[in-house]
A and B are shown apart, each in its own frame.
Chain A
Amino acid sequence: MLAISQSLVDEIIAHAKRDHPDEACGVIAGPEGSDRAERFVPMINAAGSPTFYEFDSTELLALYKQMWDNDEEPIVVYHSHTATEAYPSRTDIKLANEPGAHYVLVSTREHGNNPGPVEFKSYRIVDGEVTEEEVQISDQVSTESEQN
């Protein structure tokens, strides 16, 4: 199960709508071993594509160094699908390299950049196996959230 605050859900959705029709991506970091999604870090999609995302390699290193310094890990790895459902693609599954992370998928296919509901789903992806999990959204406003 993914436990996440409403404000972090809102940040992810806002990022996805902003970058539509390209895929948006990022992480929510949290204390190592805690499973607490706390620090919102939107990333640049270096692929700048409606069908692919890849963290910029320089930003990727900066992100991980910051997490190591803070004793954090990626609790959530999120990205958007802009024309298809919020389910991991074959490429997503093949390239999933954080077995401990919650992989969040949102789909902006219905409303694009406009207001309106967005599919928001969470999965575990381990050794090529995808398991959808429950998302429990709390009202608590995250104080750790920050723009990168």
Chain B
Amino acid sequence: MSARRKKKKKTAKTGSTVGSPSVQQRSGTVRAAVTPNQSVSVAPAVKNETRPKKDSQTAQPKKLDRSRVRAIFLDGLLLNNPVLTLMLGLCSALAVTTTLLNAIGMGIATTLVLVISNVAASFLQKRISGSLRLFVHIAVIAVLVMGVDLLMQALTPGLSKSLGIFVPLIAVNGIILARAEAFASGNALGAAAWDGVSMGVGYTVVLCIMGTIRELLGAGTLLGHSVFGSGFQPVLYLALPCGGFFTLACLAALAQHLKRRLGGKRE
């Protein structure tokens, strides 16, 4: 709790969004996705949605109902895509997407960790309070990542080797702690798990697109198989970090453009 208060205090002081950009914006969007008409069917949760959420410990965790399933999934995939809109988890997105296989592997691993971490955060929200909750949560994530790392080393050693230090670095992936704080701490187990899945799918989709582009143009292969033949001159710089930045910039511009168009159509 104190971490969140400290983050809010920080944004007020420096005036710039440090760390988790627009925490308020994210939770605001989730709340906006549920209109009063749709929430009528879930009786106990209605009262809490109309009241502004001040302290997550006094409010009831929001449950998952059919109307929210679609909203949360769209949120994670398109509207608030963790990589393109929220700008989280960029370290691995830029480094790992040199090949499509790496991107898929990293996406699946991160989704797994994200889902279980969200469930844990939702579970812990009432039971432990204060900064101790942050440490417990960090411990859970770290042990989880260690488990995933060992699993990958055992099952897919080649992939684990090519991903290198980025598998242990899933623990500091911005998405995990950000979603735990922004969403999972205020929602029930089902909703938190589904949000983990949606955000993970959104993350994986973006990573796969980046991986495809960078591998096709940067190495001329796809999943290891040569696509263009021997006469093709691959653009080496696309397989390097600068190419990652360029690809991410184009995708982020596309996402912004689509969001504006969709937002304009809705209005």
Q: Do chains A and B stick together as partners?
A: no
Binding site for A on B (CB under 8 A): none
